């Protein structure tokens, strides 16, 4: 199985809920409230891959996840939203020393901000500009912004939405949208560099909000809806700023974004099959986190939303020549395990002893279905500019229980097997389970941010990735 000549392709799909991917939600009852979408291309790829059913981010949100993914190191106890440091050793730098040609292709605009440095070491880095609130265009949108907001949106939100609309005013064809550009650039780079040992880190920001899918994929909303096109939901209690019809419409927009990304991924998968990459490449598809769609009364990411809709991620691992295709595992894994696994598969396991992550190779071989007894995840801090607003929850999980540790002391416990919606807090009935889980990770992992101990209850809170 180990081979230093294999290509490595990592695809990060931002904010992709695991339960919106067909191979995770088929036959389940998870969509009594949240409307699913079709992902035929990811599903097809998954049939030739190994599917991880209990995968979680080591830390949230955007940048901490990518830091641990690229380095195999934890960030949750001691690092938040910050640049790549000079002494961080990344997958790119390791593979370059082994003769790999490396490319970063992404529309995650946080990468390209001055000083972030995540492109360090890549032979090629290509930025697709204009996502979310990227200051790509300085003009006012050509569209009527009142069609995209209701009376609850303040001036700051109007500015953010105007920025996104101005950035995308010229979009006509489905190939103008961001996921299409990222994937088309990736295909072009792979095609031009065939025959070399390649490492591609493709990072697609969609289906991150704002949710404005092309008309072709906007088929999950109520076609009789005549209200505002609320492409950017607010935080806080959703019924404080949106009607039931608006809430359902926004959920449909998200589903359309997922379908759009899946469509363009289909072009990349076709290329990988047609050009033989599927035979000689390690290919990994995963998300950095999911996204709350009002499952627990709120949209957007937040430090007080430690539920499956935010925390569980799709994680699909393809081995060369479709080895162990179709295998599913419920082993508890996290994203900082990816780099040690890749290096182990390449026969470079002598690099990984200093990494916090652990190789998944025994699972990929089918030798075991166990990895961690439990995982911990959450935010190191709320992130700028809100470092001093609130403290952060931590979530500790095993395969059956989810323990949420809250700084104000109102901890919660859910049974994931009997209560998959996480609606009934059973901490008073099973205190021994809470004690067992909460004692598995010590004070080193506690929230150490400064400020009053309170939740993010604000009506106008931003999405986490906007808190730079």
Res 458: pLDDT = 33
Could you tell me the two tokens for 160? 């953010």
pLDDT one-digit tens code per residue, 84-99: 999 999 999 999 999 9
For residue 435, the SS3 value is: helix
Q: CA separation (Å) from 118 to 12, 63, 114, 195?
A: 14, 9, 10, 26
Sheet of strand 401-405, all strands in order from the earlier edge strand to the far edge: 375-378, 394-397, 401-405, 412-415
CATH number at residue 135: 3.40.720.10
Crossing angle of helices 338-345 and 62-71, in 10° steps, is 30
Res 423: pLDDT = 96
Q: Does the pLDDT value for residue 34 go beyond 70?
A: no
pLDDT one-digit tens code per residue, 203-260: 999 999 999 999 999 999 999 999 999 999 998 999 999 999 999 999 999 999 999 9
Residue 428: asked if its preceding bond is cis (omega within 30°), the reply is: no
Tally the domains of the chain.
Answer: 1
| Residues β-bridged to residue 307 | none
| Among the ranges given (25-29, 130-134, 449-453), the one the predictor scored with the smallest mean pLDDT | 449-453
Contact 26, 249 (CB under 8 A): no
pLDDT one-digit tens code per residue, 346-405: 999 999 999 999 999 999 999 999 999 999 999 987 665 454 445 688 999 999 999 999
DSSP letter for each residue of 8-23: EEEEEETT--GGGSHH
Whether 346 maps to a domain, the answer reads: yes
Q: Does the pLDDT value for residue 468 go beyond 50?
A: no
Whether 126 maps to a domain, the answer reads: yes
Res 217: pLDDT = 96
Whether 298 maps to a domain, the answer reads: yes
What count of other Cβ atoms lies within 10 Å of the Cβ of residue 271?
A: 17
What count of other Cβ atoms lies within 10 Å of the Cβ of residue 175?
A: 14
Average per-residue pLDDT in the chain? 91
Distance in angstroms (rounded) separating the CA atoms of residues 65 and 205: 13
Distance in angstroms (rounded) separating the CA atoms of residues 50 and 277: 17
What count of other Cβ atoms lies within 10 Å of the Cβ of residue 143?
A: 15
Per cent of the chain over pLDDT 90 is 84
Res 447: pLDDT = 66
Q: Does the pLDDT value for residue 114 go beyond 50?
A: yes
31-38 contacts at long range (C-beta below 8 A, 24 or more positions apart):
33/294, 33/295, 34/251, 34/293, 34/295, 35/220, 35/248, 35/251, 35/252, 35/255, 36/255, 37/220, 37/255, 37/256, 37/258, 37/259, 37/262, 38/259, 38/262
| Among the ranges given (246-255, 288-297, 329-338, 454-463), the one the predictor scored with the smallest mean pLDDT | 454-463
Whether 403 maps to a domain, the answer reads: no
- Nearest 5°: the CA angle 181, 125, 212 is 30
Res 4: pLDDT = 80
Candidates 170, 167, 235; CA nearest to 465 is: 235
Q: Return the percent helix, strand and coil in the chain, to nearest 5.
A: 30, 15, 55
Whether 19 maps to a domain, the answer reads: yes
> Which structural domain, as residue segments, surrounds residue 59?
7-373
Whether 101 maps to a domain, the answer reads: yes
Res 459: pLDDT = 31
Q: Does the pLDDT value for residue 338 go beyond 70?
A: yes
Q: Does the pLDDT value for residue 460 go beyond 50?
A: no
Res 456: pLDDT = 29
Whether 378 maps to a domain, the answer reads: no
Whether 332 maps to a domain, the answer reads: yes
Could you tell me the two tokens for 97? 């020393």
> Mean pLDDT, to the nearest integer, of 296-312?
95
> Mean pLDDT, to the nearest integer, of 53-57?
97
């Amino acid at each position: 199985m180990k081979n230093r000549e294999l290509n490595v392709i990592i695809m990060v799909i931002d904010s992709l809920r695991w339960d919106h991917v067909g191979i995770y939600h088929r036959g389940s009852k998870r969509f009594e409230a949240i409307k699913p979408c079709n992902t035929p291309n990811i599903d097809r790829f998954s049939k030739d891959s190994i599917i991880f059913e209990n995968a979680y981010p080591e830390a949230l949100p955007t940048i901490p996840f990518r830091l641990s993914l690229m380095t195999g190191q934890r960030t949750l106890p001691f690092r938040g939203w910050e640049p790549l440091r000079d002494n961080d050793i990344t997958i790119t730098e390791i593979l370059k020393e082994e003769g790999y040609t490396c490319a970063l292709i992404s529309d995650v605009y946080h990468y390209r901000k001055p000083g972030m440095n995540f492109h360090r070491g890549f032979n090629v880095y290509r930025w697709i500009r204009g996502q979310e609130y990227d200051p790509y265009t300085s003009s006012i949108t050509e569209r009527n912004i009142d069609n995209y907001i209701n009376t609850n949106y303040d001036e700051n939100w109007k500015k953010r939405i105007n920025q996104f609309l101005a950035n995308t005013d010229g979009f006509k064809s489905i190939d103008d949208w961001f996921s299409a550009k990222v994937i088309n650039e990736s295909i072009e780079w792979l095609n031009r560099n065939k025959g070399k040992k390649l490492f591609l880190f493709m990072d697609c920001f969609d289906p991150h909000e704002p949710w404005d899918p092309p008309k072709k994929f906007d088929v999950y909303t109520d076609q009789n809806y005549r209200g505002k096109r609320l492409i950017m939901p607010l935080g806080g209690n959703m019924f404080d700023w949106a009607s039931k019809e608006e809430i359902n419409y926004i959920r449909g927009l998200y589903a359309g974004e997922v379908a759009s990304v899946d469509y363009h991924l289909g072009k990349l998968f076709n290329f990988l099959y047609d050009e033989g990459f599927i035979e000689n490449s390690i290919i990994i598809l995963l998300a950095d986190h999911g996204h709350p769609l009002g499952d627990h009364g709120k949209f957007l990411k937040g430090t007080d939303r430690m539920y499956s809709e935010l925390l569980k991620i799709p994680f699909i691992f393809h081995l060369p020549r479709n080895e162990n295709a179709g295998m599913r595992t419920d082993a508890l894994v996290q994203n900082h395990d990816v780099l040690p696994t890749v290096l182990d598969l390449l026969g470079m396991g002598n690099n990984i002893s200093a990494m916090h992550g652990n190789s998944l190779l025994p699972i990929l071989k089918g030798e075991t279905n166990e990895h961690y007894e439990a995982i911990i995840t959450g935010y190191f801090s709320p992130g700028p500019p809100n470092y001093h607003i609130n403290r952060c929850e931590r979530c500790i999980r095993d395969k059956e229980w989810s323990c949420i540790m809250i700084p104000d002391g109102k901890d919660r416990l859910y049974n994931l097997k009997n209560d998959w919606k996480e609606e009934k807090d059973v901490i008073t009935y099973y205190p021994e389970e809470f004690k067992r889980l909460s004692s598995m990770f010590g004070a080193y992992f506690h929230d150490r941010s400064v400020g009053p101990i309170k939740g993010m209850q604000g009506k106008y809170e931003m999405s986490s990735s906007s808190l730079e």
